[in-house]
A and B are shown apart, each in its own frame.
Chain A
Amino acid sequence: QKEVEQDPGPLSVPEGAIVSLNCTYSNSAFQYFMWYRQYSRKGPELLMYTYSSGNKEDGRFTAQVDKSSKYISLFIRDSQPSDSATYLCAICSNDYKLSFGAGTTVTVRA
Chain B
Amino acid sequence: GAVVSQHPSRVICKSGTSVKIECRSLDFQATTMFWYRQFPKQSLMLMATSNEGSKATYEQGVEKDKFLINHASLTLSTLTVTSAHPEDSSFYICSALGTAGYEQYFGPGTRLTVT
- Mark A residues whose CB is within 8 Å of B: 31-32, 34, 36, 41-46, 49, 51, 88, 90, 92, 96-98, 100-103
Give the residues in chain A near B91, CB-CB below 8 Å. 41
Which of A45, A49, A88, A98 contacts B46, CB < 8 Å? A98
Minimum CB–CB distance for B107 against chain A, Å: 5
Q: Select A43's contact among B49, B97, B101, B109, beta carbons within 8 Å.
A: B109
A44 — which chain B residues lie within 8 A by C-beta? 44, 93, 106
Q: Does B85 contact A (CB under 8 A)?
A: no
Report Cα–Cα, A96/B97, bound state, in Å. Answer: 8
Complex Cα gap A92–B109 (Å): 21
A-B contact pairs, 29 of them (CB 8 A): A34-B103, A34-B104, A36-B106, A41-B91, A42-B109, A43-B4, A43-B95, A43-B106, A43-B109, A44-B106, A46-B2, A46-B105, A49-B100, A49-B102, A49-B103, A88-B43, A88-B44, A90-B104, A92-B102, A92-B103, A96-B32, A96-B49, A96-B102, A97-B34, A97-B46, A97-B49, A98-B44, A102-B42, A103-B43
Interface hub of A41, A51, A88, A92 (most chain B Cβ within 10 A): A41
5 other contacts beyond A32-B103, A42-B109, with CB at 8 A cut-off? A41-B109, A43-B109, A49-B102, A49-B103, A103-B43
Which residue on A lies nearest to B49, using beta carbons?
Answer: A97
A88 vs B41: C-alpha distance when bound (angstroms): 12
Contact B44 A41 (CB under 8 A): no
User: Would you call A98 and B109 a contact (CB within 8 A)?
Assistant: no
Q: Are A46's CB and B106's CB within 8 A?
A: yes
Establish whether residues B111 and A45, one from each chain, have CB atoms under 8 Å apart when the complex forms: no
A101→B46 CA distance, assembly (Å):
13
Q: Max chain A CB contacts within 10 Å: which of B95, B102, B105?
A: B102
Q: Nearest Cβ distance between residue A89 and chain B, in whole angstroms?
A: 10
Determine if A32 and B102 form an interchain contact, defined as CB atoms under 8 angstroms apart: yes
